[in-house]
Chain A
Amino acid sequence: MSDLVLILFTGLGLGALYFLAASGLSLVYGLMGVLNFAHGAFMTAGAYAAWLTMRDLPQGWPVAPRLAVAVLVAVLVGAAVGLVVEVVLIRPLYRRHIQQVLVTVGLSLAGVAAAQGIWGSDPRPVEKPVWMAGTTRLLGATVPNDRFVYLLVALVVFRGPLALLHLTRLGLVIRAGVENRTMVEALGIDVRRTFTVVFAIGGAAAGLAGVLYAQYAGAVSPGQGGSLLIYAFIVVVIGGMGSLTGTALAAVAVGLVQQLANYYAASGVGDLSVVLLLALVLLLRPTSLKGAPA
C-alpha cells in the first residue's frame, strides 16, 4: 500500500511537470498552428537561467529564497525568449508549416549546442531547499516533499491560464482564435499581437517547467529540455491541441502510467507504456481526450 501511495505521488508530481511543459505547447499550437520544436530549448533556457541566478546570488542567502528568485528569472527568460522567437522567426513564417518546423527544429539543435559550448555537456547539480529535499509520511508512505511543490505549481498554472482564458478579453480572443483565427481577424482583431502574447506565455510556462524539472532531476544539462519535450508532445497529442483541461488530464495519465509500469513491470517499461498509451488513445479516440483533433 505504501509503495502504491509513493508511486501515485511520484506519478502525479511527474504529471505536473509534464503539464507545465505541455501547456504552453498546447496553447501555441491550438491558437497559432505552430508546432514549436524549440519549446525544449525554452525549457533549457529557463533551467540554465535559474541555475546561474542561484549560483550568482549571495551564497549567504538560504536556498529557498534564491530558488524563488531563480524561478522568477526563469519565467521571465522563458517569456522573453518566446517573444523574441515569435517576432523574429515565427511571424514571417505563418501558414508556412514546413518552414516553421525546420526553423524550430534548427533552433532546438542550436540551443543544445550553445548550452554545451558555454557550460559543457556534463549535468550541473542544482541546489534544492532543505524542505523540498525532505520527505513527508503520508498514508504509510514516505513521499518526497518536492512532489507536493510540483503539484501545487501545476495547479496554480492550470488555474491561472484558465482564469485568463475565461475572465479576460485576451482569453476570449485566444479561445475564439483556437477555433477560427481567420474569422477573428475578419472581426477586426489583430490576431498577430495575440500570437506574440501567447508565445510569450508559452515561453514563460516552459521556463517554469525547465527550472522545476531541473529540481526534480537534481541537475541541469543541455539535453534536458529536449527529453522533457518528447513527453510534452505525447501529452498534447493525447489531451488535444489547444485544450488546457485535456492537457492536464493527459499529463496526469502519462505520469501515472509511466511510474506504475516502471514499478510493477520493469524499470524502463514506463517509457514504452507511455507510447502504448498514446497509440491506444489514437486508435480508440483519434480526436483526443477532449475531442480536439489529435
Chain B
Amino acid sequence: MTLDRPTDPPVLRLEDVHVRYGGSHVLQGISFDVASQGVTALLGRNGVGKTTTLRAILGLAPRTGRITLRGNPIQTMATHRVVRGGVGYVPEDREVFGGLTVEENLRLVDPERGVDAPVVAELFPDLVKRRGQRAGTLSGGQQQMVALARVLLRDNDLLLVDEPTKGLAPKLVTEVADVLAQVARRTPILLVEQNLPLVRRIADRVVVLDAGRVVHRGEAAALVTDADLTRELLGVSMRREGAA
C-alpha cells in the first residue's frame, strides 16, 4: 500500500455536499478527500448514503455543495462530462448491458479496440474468449469483470467502485480483489464495500458515513484492527468476517 505524501493534493474533494430526494435528506453536508493514490474505502451501515455519495459525484443524484476533481469543479457537470473528465464508475450490481455481447459492452467505451485492448488481455483474459457471448448470460463474477474492464478502457483520474464483491463466491471475491489491487497501483479508487477483510487487504484509508454524515476518517489499518471502533462505527465484528 502506498500512502500519499502529506503535500500531495487530493484527486477528489467533496465539501459540504448535500443530496435530497423529495422529503428525505440523504447526504447532510459531507466533506472528505480522496487521495491521489491507492484505495480510499467508503464504509458505513446499509442506507447511510454510500452509493448516493458516488452517484452525487457522478451527477446521477441531485446534489449541492462543491466537488472538485484535481482542483476543477465538477458539481454542475452532466454525468457524461464528469466521466469523460476522468471518473470511471463500476456500479453496484454491475449493470452490464445483458442484451449486448461482451464485445459490444466494451466497444461502447472504446469503439476502436473493445476486447482487443491490451488491458483486457492483461487483466481479464477470460473475456477475450467470451467476446461474442451475451453479457446477460455470464455469471455474476464474469459480469463484474465486464463492468471493471469497461471502465479501465479509458484513462481515468479516479475510479468509483460500488460493492464489487456483492453476491460473489469467495474465490471470485479474491479474483476481484486482485484486479482492484493491480488497478489501484495506477489509478486511485474510491471503494464502497461491506466486506471488511477486502477493505483490510486493499484499502489505504477509510471514510465512514452514518446517517448521511462523515463520522470517521483515517487509515484503513487503524480502523479494521480496532475491533471496538469497527463495532461502534459499522456494527460488525471483524472476527465474524470471512477472508477476501
Where the two chains meet, the residues of A that have a C-beta atom closer than 8 Å to any C-beta of B are 169, 172-173, 175-176, 179-180, 182-192
Contacts and interface: CB of A to CB of B under 8 A. Distances in A.
A180 B109 CA distance: 15
- CB-based closest 5 A-B pairs: A188-B83, A185-B79, A188-B84, A183-B95, A176-B97
B16 to A, nearest CB: 24
Interface in B50-75: 58, 60
A187 B100 contact: no
13 contacts: A172-B104, A172-B107, A172-B108, A175-B99, A175-B104, A176-B97, A176-B108, A180-B97, A182-B79, A184-B108, A185-B80, A188-B83, A190-B78
B188 interface: no
Given A183-B95, A186-B58, 12 more contacts: A172-B104, A175-B99, A175-B100, A179-B100, A182-B79, A184-B108, A185-B60, A186-B83, A186-B89, A187-B108, A187-B151, A188-B109
B203 to A, nearest CB: 23
B112 to A, nearest CB: 11
A173 B104 CA distance: 10
Nearest to B79: A185
A240 to B, nearest CB: 12
B170 interface: no
B214 to A, nearest CB: 24
Contacts of B78: 185, 190, 192
Contacts, number: 55
Interface of A is mostly: helix
B111 interface: yes
Contact of B97 (A169, A179, A185, A188): A179
B7 to A, nearest CB: 31
B98 interface: yes
Contacts of B154: 188
Contacts of B83: 185-188
A7 B108 CA distance: 45
A192 B80 CA distance: 10
Given A185-B80, A188-B84, A176 B100 contact: yes
Contacts of B108: 172-173, 176, 184, 187, 189
Question: Considering residues A176, A183, A187, which has the most beta carbons from chain B within 10 angstroms of its beta carbon?
Answer: A187
A188 B100 contact: no
A173 B109 CA distance: 10
A154 B154 CA distance: 40
Interface in B87-109: 89, 91, 95, 97-100, 104, 107-109
Contacts of B60: 182, 185-186
A188 B80 contact: yes
Contacts of B97: 175-176, 179-180, 183
B150 interface: yes
Nearest to B94: A183
Contacts of A180: 95, 97
A115 to B, nearest CB: 37
B95 to A, nearest CB: 5
Contacts of B89: 186-187
Contact of A179 (B58, B84, B99, B150): B99
Given A188-B109, A188-B154, A179 B98 contact: yes
Contact of B91 (A175, A176, A186): A186
Question: Considering residues A176, A183, A184, A189, which has the most beta carbons from chain B within 10 angstroms of its beta carbon?
Answer: A183
Question: Considering residues A169, A173, A180, A185, which has the most beta carbons from chain B within 10 angstroms of its beta carbon?
Answer: A185
A47 to B, nearest CB: 35
Interface in B148-166: 150-151, 154
Question: Considering residues B78, B99, B107, B108, which has the most beta carbons from chain A within 10 angstroms of its beta carbon?
Answer: B108
B107 A187 contact: no
Nearest to A191: B80
B156 to A, nearest CB: 10
A48 B4 CA distance: 68
